[in-house]
Structure 1
Amino acid sequence: MRMRNYTFAVIMSLSFILATLSGCAQTEAQQNTDYEGTKKMVIDLLKTDEGKKALHELIAQEDMREEIVMDSAFVKQTIQDTLTSDEGKKYWQEVMKDPEFAKAFAESMQAENEKIIKSLMKDPDYQQMMMDILKDPQMGEQALELMKSKEYREQIMGIMSEALESPYFAAKMAGLMNEAIEKQSKDSEDNSNE
């Protein structure tokens, strides 16, 4: 009886091993078919309401969001793809029409933009390009046209009014005027003594 149980156990073990080995011996084509089938099944599942809900719940978890944000290469590539796509460009054009968003966006970028401009100002190539632009006769004509415009004059008048209302500016102007008066009276004394 024992021998029979032992023989039965050995036969069952060998059968299990053979079944496992035959399962592992699938061809590469069968494995690819299984992969494509699994991939299609996962995509189909994600498109269902339950799949979308499961994804939302997964993303809502704090640790998952942190992990996604921490993968900066992924985030960088996603942002780049989004910004450079046609849909992304249309989206940003629409969003920038909102004055509050545009203001907040500009303020968030201001420090970085100032750094870039300051570093460019020290760059000899950039300085030369700016000089070339300023020397261009067409640029001079445009600047002159701008200065003749009503809007520009109103802007200058506004700046001057604000400056005159400043106590610091008023004190500085008074000092300069006193110096000019003293110089003029000294010059007129010198002329009368001659």
Structure 2
Amino acid sequence: MTYSPDLECVAFVGHELIASGTLAEVVHEVKRHHDQNPNDMILVFDNQKSNVIELDLRGSMEDVFGRMASKQPLEEAVAPPKRPGRPKLGVVSKEVTLLPRHWEWLREQRGGASVTLRKLVGEAMHVADGDKDKRAGQQTAYKLMTAVAGDLPNYEEAIRALFAGDAEQFFAQIADWPTGLKNHLAQISRDVFLPPAGA
């Protein structure tokens, strides 16, 4: 998979943050660290979801960046199949299975079945999106903590506080963790501890 050189990410060796910034900046620091400490296991994560970014650090800095630039994502290599609908408008036709009474109710609605279904789905998405950022922040922090901090003191208590949305308890549990790790967790979990909308 290819990544934008501007992607914000971090690199850790054990519990210690060794680099933070754009992917291009982090790769420079990771390569330098690897050349000086070839036995260190370095983990690089994107800031958005804490997904691991795999780097091939063999050769020179130019070799590393050359390999990164030459990778082609699978999605671009295989063209998606054409489907019925109105693709220029972003509309794709798919099958929906409903009971007869549902179809009857939809036929009676103003605008017909398609308009009514779009409105219903839109309203449901709006309701579900209320906690989306919080859940995403919890998953991002959880993935990083599992990979980097699983053997640190109070790890399980910190995870419980993270999913409870208890900022005070969360930061109390990670207070003695390495500074770089604490600061990064504060950054990627900020949406978890925001008050609910309208509160």
- TM-score tier, shorter chain, comes to under 0.3
> If you compute each CA radius of gyration, which structure gives the higher value, 1 or 2?
1
- Structure in which a larger fraction of residues adopt helix: 1
- Structure in which a larger fraction of residues adopt strand: 2
TM-score, structure 1 normalization: 0.15
TM-score, structure 2 normalization: 0.15
